[in-house]
Chains A and B, each alone.
Chain A
Amino acid sequence: MLKIEDLHVEVDGKPILKGINLEVEAGQVHAIMGPNGSGKSTLAYVLAGRDGYEVTKGRVTYKGRDLLEMPPEQRAAEGVFLGFQYPVAIPGVSNIYFLKAALNAIRKHRGEAPLDAIDFMKLAKKKAALVQLPDELTKRSVNDGFSGGEKKRNEIFQMAMLEPSLAVLDETDSGLDIDALKVVAEGVNGLRAPDRAMLVITHYQRLLDYIVPDVVHVLIGGQIVRTGDKDLAKRLEKEGYSEVREASRL
């Protein structure tokens, strides 16, 4: 599904990612853990195609194609979804209208007919239930005045609607209390599928109690210094990043 080879990325001339190698198979959930400033969000943005992140070396192959060639909207249409750490507000544009425009743009790319209002609403209702998103929130302006938890639930709702092949979830747990975390995690788990890969980026192990990953990577200083199974995350929780950092230096 996704193959990252020796990826180097600079932001404003400053190297952030220094040779990432990563391979994610369909059906897998990989977690990327790391302290602040290690390059986790940079990796997420590069995969989604945000401006200002310059790839200086390496390649990213998605479904056998060069991902870095595609503009952001094409990546989205090809099934790449980024759950934002800080979802952006768009005042005056209703959540549901936004999603309908997005979904139909993606369907158009796939050569599918646009969903009409009735079919769309049916689908939205079903998916909103998955993350217990109140009806009222689907009608409000996109993320405008949403609480932190509402924003994150809204991200997962959008993911459920757009049914991506590769979901990159950037610190979906940040700013969530334990109840909200559970709801979001359940939503994500409900979307695990054999034809879908997920890259879950997080600072804390806590999220991984609920979204159990197949593989855990530790990202420090722009490099993956450790790769292991879910127990690696548990060890990190106990020992802290500094231990791993030290260990990786040796």
Chain B
Amino acid sequence: MSTATEQIDDILKKGYDAGFVTDIEQEYAPPGLSEEIVAFISKKKEEPDWLLQWRLKAYRRWLDMKEPTWAKVRYPKINYQDICYYAAPKSKENAPKSLDEVDPELLRTYEKLGIPLHEREILAGVAVDAVFDSVSVATTFREKLSEVGVIFMSFSEAVKEHPELIRKYLGSVVPVSDNFFAALNSAVFSDGSFVYIPKGVRCPMELSTYFRINAANTGQFERTLIVADEGSYVSYLEGCTAPMRDENQLHAAVVELVAHEDAQIKYSTVQNWYPGDENGKGGIFNFVTKRGLCEGARSKISWTQVETGSAITWKYPSCILKGDYSIGEFYSVALSNHRQQADTGTKMIHLGKNTKSTIISKGISAGHGQQTYRGGVKISRGAANARNYTQCDSLLIGDKCGAHTVPYVDVRNASSKLEHEATTSSIGEDQLFYCRQRGLSEEDAVSLIVNGFAKQVLKELPMEFAVEAQKLLGVSLEGAVG
């Protein structure tokens, strides 16, 4: 049986539980997508009419769109009418009561990552005090943030509490019809995060979805919107550094960032969704649209990502450099082991004068993993003195994996300056032997070499994240050699 069929079967099993229109208490809408389902989701979330109309517009556009096929990824055809588009937060009744009830394999991974016991409970979704704790921690955070005027809440809450901001910025960077998956997300997004940093405010802490996701059990179509007003700064950390329990899912998230004059947004992701097993069975299909708009002069957006999970990754965090002297950065480490496939990169679109972009991409392939860097640099006519530096390095482990580099460059202004460097190397038997001769185990040796390779990117991550990301790279490569 193919992966997709199993995936769909799983969802179908849940989906047939009950009808959706009459019973308000039910957890799942039936599978399939229609205007009714879109309206149902909107109603469930008690959204204003303008948002419903926005969703419907996206849905209608989506109907006319074709799933993109240009990426170098192979997966069974997804039947969008078999997917269930609304799942209410899971009840805590079925959650494990203690760590004893959690999959030992998962716990072993947590242990390897060095996640404290207490956090492991939260991650595994244990329905005891841990969750209450995290809620209270989140509340403490929010109070501290509101003192400086920072808004950080779930997307649904923001729609109710700050409709003017949502209405102004939603879809302003990634329009509903931007691409197939973005349109799908716009129609059916379940929840996500909203951040607003007021003028001149330096957000006093790193914002993280970590707690909130676990509390709210955010679904598979997330929507994140971050707005940094003039002269503000925010560092945002996305994602869990541990595998989620959810398996066999389609993820189609949208992230929009807006940086006004002199504002800076640093967006860091450590993505470790379930990658499927060694034979490519199961795993998340991750189709994500992430884009930042450097709206104002001297604004800056940095994307840093460590991608170790998902069966399929389709993701291109990009920057539109509209403001003069604005800066876009993309630092990426993507790892594909076993049967994982990743097609990832960035687009840097230079519109303003003296804009500058930097792309550092490190791809690691092991097992039968396939890895593609796909990047675009566009210098438009008005972007005088624009500069771009691109560096793509690929590391191969074993001889059954693949690495591909597909850079696109489109230059319309002769005063621009672009540099591109690319290397491909493999972890040599000689490197491994050298490390082992000095007393390191084979696995530690691989981890060390890979972390050395990825260092340029890892150092861009906030400290705590970097440590976990390092361990994650090691854990993800277990069994990659030998």
Contacts and interface: CB of A to CB of B under 8 A. Distances in A.
Interface of A: 48-52, 71-73, 75-77, 81-82, 84, 87-88, 90-93, 98-99, 101-103, 105-106, 109, 141, 158, 162
B451 interface: yes
Interface of B: 428-431, 433-442, 444, 448-449, 451-456
A72 B449 contact: no
Nearest to A106: B439
A162 B438 contact: yes
A158 B442 CA distance: 19
Contact of A162 (B428, B431, B436, B439): B439
B436 A76 contact: yes
A50 B435 contact: no
Nearest to A78: B439
A209 B444 CA distance: 39
Contacts of A109: 439
B439 A76 contact: yes
A102 B439 contact: yes
B452 A72 contact: no
Nearest to B431: A88
Given A90-B448, A101-B448, A72 B437 contact: yes
A172 B40 CA distance: 75
B441 A87 contact: no
Given A90-B431, A92-B451, A103-B439, 14 more contacts: A48-B433, A50-B433, A73-B436, A73-B439, A90-B449, A93-B452, A99-B438, A101-B444, A101-B448, A102-B435, A102-B438, A102-B439, A105-B441, A109-B439
A84 B456 CA distance: 28
Contacts of A51: 429, 433
Contact of A91 (B429, B430, B452): B452
Per CB-CB distance, the 8 closest pairs between chain A and chain B, nearest first, are A92-B452, A93-B452, A102-B438, A76-B439, A72-B436, A92-B455, A88-B434, A106-B439
A165 to B, nearest CB: 13
Contact of A98 (B433, B438, B455, B456): B438
6 contacts: A73-B437, A76-B436, A88-B431, A88-B433, A92-B453, A103-B439
Contacts of A99: 438
Which residue of A72, A77, A88, A98 has the most chain B CB atoms within 10 A of its CB atom?
A72
A165 B429 CA distance: 25
Contacts of B444: 101, 105
The binding surface of chain B is classed by DSSP as: helix
A177 to B, nearest CB: 24
A77 B437 CA distance: 9
A102 B435 CA distance: 8
A87 B449 CA distance: 15
B260 to A, nearest CB: 36
A101 B430 CA distance: 18
B440 A102 contact: yes
B453 A91 contact: yes
Contacts of A162: 438-439
B438 A158 contact: yes
A206 to B, nearest CB: 26
A215 to B, nearest CB: 24
A249 B251 CA distance: 74
A197 B430 CA distance: 25
A84 B451 CA distance: 23
A71 to B, nearest CB: 7
B452 A141 contact: yes
A92 B456 CA distance: 8
Contacts of A87: 434
Nearest to B393: A91
A93 B448 contact: yes
A199 B448 CA distance: 29
A98 B448 contact: yes
A75 B449 CA distance: 21
A139 to B, nearest CB: 13
Contacts of B452: 90-93, 141
B135 to A, nearest CB: 38
A81 B438 CA distance: 7
Contacts of B430: 88
